[in-house]
Structures are given as C-alpha cells and as structure tokens.
Structure 1
C-alpha cells in the first residue's frame, strides 16, 4: 500500500522562501518513495511524502518549524492511494 503524508504551513509575512528552504533541509531516518514540494500565494508551503507502508504505520513526519517562521499551526493529513487514472 502507498501512503501519502501531507504537511502544509503558512510562513510569516515575507518568509515563504525561508520556510521552503527549511522544509527542504529536513531529513528522515528512512527515505520516502518520493518527496515533493509546492508553494502557493500567501507564503504557503506544502510537502507531500509517499511511503510504502500500511495506512496506520509509524512514519517519520516533518517537524514543526520555529514559531517565528510560521503564522499558524502546521496542518497534516494522511491519505492512502486508491490507484491512478487509466
């Protein structure tokens, strides 16, 4: 089964690039199948990691950044793959 972990944060005013750089620097003890970074207006940063694991498996997640780097708590979601488009 493939599990995707989504991590999304909103940077403090004007610190979106710094938050993105911080997210890229984070390392896990185990390597995900894939890791992708996104940004959006409002200095938002999204990171998705894909894992070959059961839905409820213990998986490493990105930590919370320093409080001064973000404007609100980090949002996290977990999804399981149900297949791609044919």
Structure 2
C-alpha cells in the first residue's frame, strides 16, 4: 500500500522513548515505530467497538429472536 508523509507533533519524552527503541533495533526508524503504534491502536479500537456493540445487546431479546427464527424454519422443512 502506498505511504503518505505526514508531520506529527509528539511530546519530547515520548520521542526520547521512541528513539531508544530505534537505537535498540526494535524498529528500523521512527516512522516504522509510529506506524506500528498507530496500527496496533486502531486494531484495539476496532475490537473495543465490537465488544461495546455486543454489550448493548439484550440476551433475552436475542434468544427470543433466535427461537422465533428457528420455529419458522422448522415449519418450512419437509417431513422425512
């Protein structure tokens, strides 16, 4: 995927920690470290949104809907 250059303002202490990781060869450079951090955070946020959406479901209502759907399917099945 093509990459786009951006300017980022970052707290000096965070940049020091980032540079230490680069010096320790945990990342090839600052860009790779920041890209990795952003990617991981976005993945975590996607999982969190899914969990939050699931938490809003009413288990009783979901069970009733499932049972209603199953009952309709059973009536439509041919008898063996």
Structure with the bigger percentage of helix: 2
Give the TM-score category using the shorter length: under 0.3
So what's the TM-score if we normalise by structure 1?
0.22
Considering Cα pairs closer than 8 Å and 6+ residues apart, tell me whether 1 or 2 has the greater RCO.
Answer: 1
So what's the TM-score if we normalise by structure 2?
0.22
Structure with the bigger percentage of strand: 1
